[in-house]
Amino acid sequence: QVQLVQSGAEVKKPGASVKVSCKASGYTFTNYAIHWVRQAPGQSLECMGWINGGDGITRYSQKFQGRVTITQDRSATTAYMELNSLRSEDTAVYYCARDWMTSGFDYWGQGTQVTVSS
């Protein structure tokens, strides 16, 4: 069965970086893109960017351009999202989600809580 398993909760200080992983299993990793979506407390969902599993090409939301880096390790079927220069407003649950063409984000990770606090 398809699974996306994310790394555990993180607590970071302002100005630090955080790297969240998303281990995929149960499907051909290179056939799908992995998206990163975050949700601040009580807020809606916000797309940060994605990476194509096949060619590793990345695209980032304008809001996060320059501050986020999405990578992958095909041999480990794992995607990563690194966010730099953290501020309190980055406190949120970060999700990875699978996507293929126009089929929607059909599988999601369990979410990773990132808390930014001094």
Q: Is the Cβ of residue 32 or residue 105 nearer to other proteins in the bound state?
A: 105
Q: Is the Cβ of residue 48 or residue 116 nearer to other proteins in the bound state?
A: 48
Are 90 and 83 in contact by the 8 Å Cβ rule? The answer is yes
Encoded one letter per residue, x for contact with other proteins by CB under 8 A and - for no contact, window 78-107 reads -----------------x-x----xxxxx-
Query: Taking contact as CB under 8 A, which single stretch among the options 14-22, 42-50, 67-75, 81-89 is the one that binds other proteins?
Result: 42-50
Are 93 and 43 in contact by the 8 Å Cβ rule? The answer is no
Site for other proteins (CB under 8 A): which residue of 17, 25, 110, 117? 110
Are 53 and 35 in contact by the 8 Å Cβ rule? The answer is no
**DSSP string over 21-56:** EEEEESS-GGGSEEEEEEE-TT--EEEEEEEETTT-
| C-alpha dihedral, 40 to 90 to 66 to 118, nearest 10° | 180
Query: Taking contact as CB under 8 A, which single stretch among the options 15-23, 39-47, 71-79, 83-91 is the one that binds other proteins?
Result: 39-47
Q: Which residues bind other proteins (CB under 8 A)?
A: 35, 37, 44-47, 59, 61-62, 95, 97, 102-106, 108-111
